[in-house]
Structure 1
Amino acid sequence: MRFSVYQFRRSIFITIIALSLVLQFGCGFKDIDKRIFVLSIGIDHSDNDEKPYKITLKLAVPSGSIKETGAKYTYLTKESESIASAVRLLKSHVDKELDFGHAKVIVFGEEILNHDMNEVIDFFVRRRDIQKISWVAVGNPSAESVLKTEPSSEKAGSHALFNFFDENGVESAYIVSTYLFDFQRRLSEKGYDPILPVFNSSEDKKKIVVNSSSLLANKKEPLNLSPEETKLYNVMANNVEKLNLTIKRDDLLFTVSIDSSKTKFKLDTAAKQKPVLKMDVTMKGVMEEANQPMNPKKLSTYSHYASKEVEKQLTELLTMLQENDADPIGFGLRYQASKLHTEKTYKEWRQIYPELSFDVHVKVSIMSTGIVE
């Protein structure tokens, strides 16, 4: 009798599980031919105050044959009072379900940066089908123009914007990579300002250049960093490798190819002393180009020239960030983490930062003058 009851309960349990699986697949699953994939999303500010958001979606058009070459995309654009309502309206513009699972790039127009960015990204951090590891960037002159730019090197089934960030394509010290989750964290974190790469599209929409960045600090106007400033930021914040240093000393001009770079910093805020930021940077590389014959016996001299030049450039950048009350490296966050947590910790840092002096020490080791035969 006990055995039969056990078998009955087991059969009921298996039946319930099977029915639940059937119901789940029947309601939530759509065949791939019923979906169209969103590759990137653009958000611009429209001229309509009632509908301030202009949303652009770049969609991949599936090809019927693997022999077909060339990228095929279509675009959807809509203005609305919110991002969510614009997306809902855009669903009625295509005959397939919009799939955001492959949307790995979110581009903001320059004008949208003057808005409350926490409100702008709220849609993206709430939706479960948008990856939190999506890259975020700024589009110049607009996000729509960047998304509609199709470089000739872009192949079918790929997206050129992805290659700028995933390190499987281009590797450049001038590119800043910022994830959606990190951007959200920096917006709410005290003492760690967000920084975004800037996409510059050409007028003929055949070329995209990414070698500068935009810094958002304390709800002020965005601070634009030049390519050289962006490179130096990457040295301090990301220990970037594969960069070039151009050194000029009197009539001597040479370029060093850096293969490895490492940065450490320490805040010295002892009582009754002027606060000091001590930063140590070590680099190793080889000579890549020179306007004069280079003597291998003078490598230490060339290294000294390079070290002093980088020290000067880093100090100037740190001073510029301080004058603009910007902190994209996270000095304020480090200060708060190294002190006993109180409500006044961040207030103390706000008083210390304007008085902070910079003690930058750079050691560049040039290993050889290159291969010259």
Structure 2
Amino acid sequence: MKKKVQHLAKPFFIIVAVMVLLFQSGCGFKDIDKRIFVLSIGIDHTKSEEKPFRVVLKLAVPSGSIKQSGTEYTYLTEESESISTAIRILKSQTDKELDFGHAKVIVFGEEVLHHELEEIIDFFLRRRDIQMISWVGVGQPSAESVLKAEPESEMAGSHALFNFFDQNGVESSLIVTSYLFDFRRRVMETGIDPILPVLNTSEDKKRIEVSRAIVVNSDKKPVELNEKQATIYNLMGNNADRYDVRVKNDDLNFTVAIDTSKVTFDINTDSKQKPIIKMDIEMVGIIQEADVDTDSSKLHTYSEVTSKTVKKDVTEVLTMFQEEGLDPLGFGLRYKATRLNNNKRYEEWKELYPKVTFEVNAKASLKSTGVIE
């Protein structure tokens, strides 16, 4: 009897399995010819209260031959009450599924920075198909103008903005890199302010320049850093290599190429004196250009002059941050992290920061005057 039941059970389970497979819905996978890849996303703020967001998508058009020259892109643009609604509408404007897996650049228009950033970045944080390591920047005059710029050096299926930020293309101390995960942390956390690279396009949209940065503070108007200030920030905040120091005084006029650098700082809030931020900077480099004859026996003198120049430049930028009430280096975050929590540390820091005195100790070691003797 037992064997008979087992004999009947086997066909029964087979029939059930077949029925289950027949009634299952199709999986979410789509062939590559049914998808179109989004390379970058632009968000501009309009003057309309009903549709405040203008969303621009830059799409890569697949080519039948990898040898095909020139760039092939298309763009989708939509204005809506929210970013997610705009994306849903844009999906109805193309015959392929929008794939955000390759969208590694998010560009905000400058006007967006004057609104609630937490609400704007919420969309990007919730979508599982947008990478948290995407680069974030500010487009001038708008995010749309940056996305629609197509430099002649841009290859088909690629994106010039990728080369600016991934360190595999251009390497420049002028370029400030900001990732989506870090931007979100700076927006949500107290004691450190978001800083974003500024992307500017030429009138003919054949060139993109990334040489400045902008610091965002929820309580203040965003402050733009010029090229020199952006470079100094990269030195202090990112230990930037390939940093050029221009030394000018009555007797010497030369440029130093810094190959390696190391920056550390400490916050001293002894009650007996004013709060002090001590910053130590160590650099190694060579002289790469000079308007006067250089002597390798005077490298020690050149190093001392370079150290004084760096100290002066860094102190000026730190003082500017303090006067503007900005903290992109995270001094307030360090203060909170190194003191026992009493739920009032950030308020304490806001009172201390305007009183801080900066003590910068820069030490440059020049190894050579270059190949010219």
Task: Note whether the superposition's TM-score is higher than 0.5.
Answer: yes
CA 1:7–1:295 in 2, change beyond 3 Å: closer, same or farther?
farther
Q: Distance in 2 between matches of 1:16 and 1:331?
A: 65
Cα displacement string for residues 169-194 of structure 1 (whole angstroms, at most 9, x for unaligned residues): 01110111111111111011010100
The secondary structure found in structure 1 opposite 2:88 is helix
How many Å apart are 1:315 and its aligned residue?
0.5
Q: Match for residue 103 of structure 2?
A: 103
Cα distance, 1:9 vs structure 2 = 10
Matched, 1:188 2:180: no
> What is the distance in 1 between the residues matched to 2:76 and 2:298?
60
- Tell me which residue corresponds to 2:357: 357
Q: Is the 8 A contact 1:218 1:326 kept in 2?
A: no
1:336–1:240 Cα change, 3 Å: same
Percent of aligned positions with the same letter in both sequences?
58
Q: Distance in 2 between matches of 1:117 and 1:99?
A: 25
Structure 1: which 5+ runs fail to align?
Answer: none
For residue 368 of structure 2, give the secondary structure of its aligned residue in structure 1. coil
Aligned to 1:70: 70
Other-structure match for 2:333: 333
Residues 199 and 210 in structure 1, CA contact (< 8 A), matched pair in contact too: yes
**1:118 is the counterpart of 2:118:** yes
> 2:366 corresponds to which residue?
366
> Shift in Å at residue 26 of structure 1?
2.3
Q: Distance in 2 between matches of 1:351 and 1:129?
A: 42
Structure 1 pair 277–31 and aligned structure 2 pair: CA distance change class (3 A): same
Relative to structure 1, the CA distance from residue 295 to residue 65 in structure 2 (aligned partners, 3 Å threshold; closer, same or farther) is: same
CA shift, 1:344, in A, is: 1.1
Aligned length: 373
The residue number in structure 2 matching 1:35 is 35
TM-score normalized with structure 1 length: 0.94
Match of 2:216 in 1: 216
Q: Hey, what does 1:269 align to over in structure 2?
A: 269
Secondary structure at the residue paired with 1:93? coil
Following superposition of structure 1 onto structure 2, how do residues 164-175 of structure 1 map, counting pairs within 5 Å? 164-175=164-175
Q: Which moved more, 1:12-21 or 1:133-142?
A: 12-21
Q: Secondary structure of 1:326's partner? A: coil
In 2, are the aligned partners of 1:261 and 1:281 still within 8 Å (CA)?
yes
The aligned counterpart of 1:50 is 50
CA distance in 1, matches of 2:352, 2:45: 37
Rounded to whole Å, the distance in 2 between the matches of 1:336 and 1:34 is: 50
| Equivalent position amino acid for 1:262 in 2 | K
Q: Compute the displacement of 1:210 (Å).
A: 0.1
1:286 aligns with 2:282: no
**Residues 303-343 of structure 1: CA deviation (Å, up to 9, x unaligned):** 11110011011001000000111000000000001100111
Change (3 A) 1:2 1:120: farther
Comparing 360-369 with 11-20, greater Cα deviation is found at 11-20
> Partner residue of 1:256?
256
SS at match of 2:221: coil
2:133 equivalent in structure 1: 133
Following superposition, the deviation at residue 219 of structure 1 comes to 2.9
Q: TM-score, normalised on structure 2?
A: 0.94
Relative distance call for 1:351 and 1:286 in structure 2 (3 A) is same
Structure 1 stretch displaced more, 124-133 or 12-21: 12-21
Residue type at the aligned position of 1:175:
I
Offset at 1:35?
0.5
After the TM superposition, list the runs of 4 or more consecutive aligned residues in structure 1 that deviate by more than 6 angstroms: 1-25
Residue in 2 aligned with 1:308? 308
CA distance in 2, matches of 1:88, 1:23: 28
Question: Taking structure 1 as reference, are residues 86 and 17 closer, same or farther at Cα in structure 2, changes over 3 Å only?
Answer: farther
Q: CA RMSD in A?
A: 2.5
Supply the distance in 2 between the matched residues of 1:106 and 1:273 (Cα, whole angstroms).
45
The CA distance in 1 between the partners of 2:21 and 2:354, in whole Å, is 61
- Give distance in 2, aligned partners of 1:261 and 1:229: 17
Deviation at 1:64, TM superposition (A): 1.1
Residue 252 of structure 1, CA deviation: 2.1
- Asked if 1:144 corresponds to 2:144, the answer is yes
Which residue identity does 2:224 align to in structure 1?
N
Shift, 1:166, TM fit: 0.6
Closer, same or farther: CA 11–182 of 1 in aligned 2, 3 Å: farther
Q: Cα distance, 1:136 vs. partner?
A: 0.5
Q: CA separation in 2, counterparts of 1:116 and 1:69?
A: 42
Residue of structure 2 in register with 1:161 after alignment: 161
Shift of 1:347: 1.0
- Correspondence for 1:246: 246
Counterparts of 2:264 and 2:297, CA distance in 1: 30
Residues 330-365 of structure 1: CA deviation (Å, up to 9, x unaligned): 000000011001111111111110100000000001
CA distance in 1, matches of 2:217, 2:283: 29
Counterparts of 2:43 and 2:62 in 1: how far apart (Å)? 24
**Which amino acid in structure 1 is aligned with residue 286 of structure 2?**
V
CA contact (8 A) 1:44 1:143 kept: yes
Tell me the alpha carbon deviations over residues 207-243 of structure 1, each in whole angstroms, 9 at most, x when there is no partner. 0000000100233111000011000001111101111
